[in-house]
Structure formats: structure tokens, C-alpha cells
Amino acid sequence: MAAAEEEETNSKTDSNQLNVQTFFELEECHTVISELQRCGCCTRCILRLLGVKRQPLFITPNEVMIQLMKAKQNDEEPSPSTDNNGETEPVDKEVSDSSSQSSEAVCSVCLGILQGLCDPSSVKMLADQVREADFGFDTFTMSMTLPLQLLIREHCIFLHLKSVFSKLYQKTIHNNIATIKEVYKWVCGPVMGNALDVKFYFKSPMEIMVTFTHKETEKELNKLLQQSNNEPPRKKFRRGYNSGAINSPGRPVVLGAIKNVSDTKFKELFTCPPPVPQQLSITEVTCSYSAVFVAGRYNKYSRNLSQTPWLIEGQRKTESSMQEIICDPIQNLFKASDFKFSASGREDVDVRTLGRGRPFVVEVLNSRRPVPTQEELTALQKTINRGTTDARVRDLQCIEKDDLNKLKDGEEIKTKSYSALIWSSAEQTAESLAFLTDIKDLTLYQKTPVRVLHRRPLATRERVVHTISAKVIDAHHFRLFLRTQAGTYIKEFVHGDFGRTTPNLGILLKCDVDILELDVESVDVDWPPYLPEEEDADEQMKEAEDKT
């Protein structure tokens, strides 16, 4: 508790004392600051290169720099001067000019990203672009795409600092400084939040992506990659570099290229310290909402309803589909740009899904509104169910992405129960079918059925029928009940598919049989969590069965 309180205290800029912690002693700081100012570094980059990592200090960097330099003059810890009334005294003009000297030109290290582009006015302009994108959200996070030549320029300044201050700058310091991304988020995140009147978090489903480009210095990146391209193929392969990607490298490629160039060679290729550019970086804003996952279970009561839109040569074969019944209202609720629908297996168009239904999940892409409450999803579920008698949705709820693993894990051990209306060429009685109940864990060998060969590879799959039972309807018809391993082709188990499934029901009964109707009675996966319902599901199911 004490450590947490101390951290909270240190995270605030106190009006009476500003404790600036760096890698160096005060005397050393002053020397490094003077050199970095001479190299054209902005104030925030100077603080970064001194090892400052506390967020509040980057919000008012000029004040911090003034206090550092004045503290050196007074040979004491940096703290703002105050008069007897507790108000800050004006700082000498010479000190003030010295601290702001590097802000007059574009920073040689960050290419202006931590200068004017961090000003509240610039951030508010970005916020206006976010508003124009018409997203609704309660929280947001910021991400950045930076010019890759920043990696080169930061390496240049460190090589220079190590040559001038060999005892102060070691390799470990390079890895411990605050990054440009971190500082930009520290400074601009709260400003963006205030401008949008929402909260800024470092983790949020709403992402505001700020992309920076700097055309003036792209030649530096091309020079490095050209040098890398001239290296022996073995090194390029080990680093994962593809010469065809020279115009669109990734960060690991550039870091690998820098690592593989010696310091001596690097100084021949690039000016150390890096030269001051003439232009600021250019910014572009894009917004995206992390995928939201909506899960539930569905019943399908129609024998003329496909799971997904059924199109052959551009022509619809069914009027609607389970995907459209479920996903279109969800997409409208979320104001989403797109979605992905998947279910725990699939049934044929003429197969009903009864019982508690089949689990499904909808991945909602780029939603333009906050995640709905459970009350809103329950209301949407009722709206879907009132709109059709062909289908029904239950247990509709938002889930986390990690919850999908539970569904995938269940695929390995899942079983399904079926009932089927069977025709038999030979007359059947309860006695003639009784032996089926004694069959347990019957292993089948099923070649890919003829009806799905156009979309699935030819293979022989081993599946298990756990239990079988039958109930006679008349001499040539009976109802077959099965509990099988997931992935079992039930229709083929009945009629044999020209001998491609063995054994099959025809072999067991020693006569010709065919399947007239098939229902999925249950999908035995306890997912997603059950949600109690107010309406009478049995009544709706009865209405659907009467219609069928």
C-alpha cells in the first residue's frame, strides 16, 4: 500500500517541488543537455535521452528543462523558485531562451512528432477528424505508426552520444529510455480524451490510429535497406529480409539491418548526429473498433432454410438463412461495417435443429457504437424471435475472445444426438430392431460423401456412433435415435453412400434403407453460458412444428 501511495504521489507535478530523475548527476545533465540542444533535439527528446520516464514531466517539458538548468546554476535539486506568496518567480530570460532553443526547428530525432504535433491545437484537430468518422465509444486507446527512419536517427544520436560521453552512454541506456510512442500517448492521450469527452485508456476496444510519415527523410531508410540488400543471402535469410519488400519493410527488418551494420560503417552511411530536417511529419488518423464477439444458440425449425446464404452461380436457392436472420439485426445494432458468422458444426438445408439449439458466434467488425448492455442484447433476441417462426435464438450475449477457446476445445469431445425418419424395404417390428440398442461405440469408416466432394478433400474419416435405438411407426417406417461423435455423416450412415460408409444401417438391417427426415436433437457443448428466458420456448417450438 505504501509503495502504491508513493507511486501515486510521484506521478503528480507538485507546485512546490518537481523531482526530476535521470540517468545522470546534475552536473552531467547540464553537459548532455547542452550537447543535445546543439544537435537539434527537441525538449521532449532531450528528456527522453536523459532517461526521464515519468509521464507528467513530458506534459510541461520546457518548465522541466528550465528547472534543470536553473538548478544546475544554483547547484541544487531542481524545483521551481517561489516567492513568499507561494507563486512561481519568473525565470531569467537567458535560461528560458536556452531551454526553448531546440523547439524553433524541427527535431532531428523525432522529426517533430513530440513538438508541435503534440500541441493541444494539433491534437484537437485530430479529434475533429475522429468525430467526422462517426464512431460511438466510451473509452479509447491510441496507437501509432511511426516513420521507420526514426530508428535510424535514434541510432545516430546514440552513436554520437557514446562517442562524446563514452562513460555515460552504454548499450543498456538505449533500451531503457521512454519511446516516442510512449511519450506521445502520455501527452496527447488525455488531451484527445478531453476533446472527445471520453476517457483515454491504454487498453480499449476503440483504437485511434495516428500514422506519421516524413517524405524528406525516406531516402535514409532506402539507403539502409540498400546496404542490407547488398549483404550475402545467408544473412538476409537469417534476418527474414526479402529484397522484394524494400519499399515496405517492417520494424524488425529495419532493426535487423541496423544491428548487422557495424558502428564504423553506420557512421560512413549516416551523419551522426542526424541533420535537422526542414519539414514536420505529416499525420493521418484512422479509427477502428476491436472485434466484438456475440455468442448464442439457435434453433432451426424449417426444412427449407440454409445455415448461410445458399448461392449457386449467383442465384439464391433459399429465401433466407440462419446467418441473415441472426447477423443482420446484430450488425444494425452495432452499426458495424461487417461481421463473421460461425457455428459449432452445420446442418443441411433440410435438417432441423431442435432442443437447446446449436452454439454460434458472430464476430462483429468495426462497430460504430459502444458495446451493448445485456438488456439490449436480450431485447434484440426477442425482436429476432418475434420476426420469424422458422428459427429461434437463445442465450445471446457478448463474450471475450478467449472464450472462443472453450468452443474450440469442445469440438474435440463434442457429441450430437439425432432423430431420423427411416424407410425400410423390409418390414420392421420392435423385435427386429431391438438389437440396435445393444450396439455401443460402433466405429464407422466414412469416405468423403459424394454430395460434399466439391468442397472437401477426399479422405476416409473414422467416426463413432455411441448409441442407437429405434421406434416403429409402421411396417416400413421407424424413427431412429443416435448419439454420435461430432463430424459423423448421418445420412451416409443410413443409406451407405454407395458403400463409401461402412458399416451402415443397411448392412446392419440387411435390407435397403433410406432417410426421409433428419433432426439434430442436441449439440452437447455447454457453451455459451445459459441465460434464463421469460418467454415460453416450448410454445414457439410447437408452433414451428405445426407449421412444418
Active site residues per annotation = 348
Residues 6+ apart with CB under 8 A from 467: 437, 439, 440, 481, 482, 483
Answer whether 501's CB lies under 8 Å from 446's CB. yes
Q: How far apart are CA 515 and CA 494, in angstroms?
A: 7
- The single residue listed with the C-alpha cell 528528456 is 47
Q: How far apart are CA 489 and CA 195, in angstroms?
A: 58
Four-residue CA torsion sign, 117, 123, 128, 129: positive
How much is the CA Rg of the chain, to the nearest whole Å? 34
Got the DSSP string for 403-439? GHHHHHHHHHH-EEEEEEEEEESS---HHHHGGGGG-
Helix (H) or strand (E) holding 220: helix 218-229
DSSP 518: E
Residue type (1 letter), 21? Q
Taking alpha carbons only, the member of 314, 289, 291, 467 closest to residue 369 is 289
Answer whether 351's CB lies under 8 Å from 515's CB. no
- The cell for 399 is 463474450
Q: How far apart are CA 38 and CA 50, in angstroms?
A: 15
Taking alpha carbons only, the member of 355, 311, 277, 300 closest to residue 113 is 277
Residue type (1 letter), 530? Y
- The single residue listed with the C-alpha cell 552512454 is 169
Taking alpha carbons only, the member of 452, 451, 518, 446 closest to residue 485 is 446
Answer whether 352's CB lies under 8 Å from 392's CB. no
- The cell for 70 is 536553473
> Beta partners for 393?
298
Q: How far apart are CA 381 and CA 395, in angstroms?
A: 8
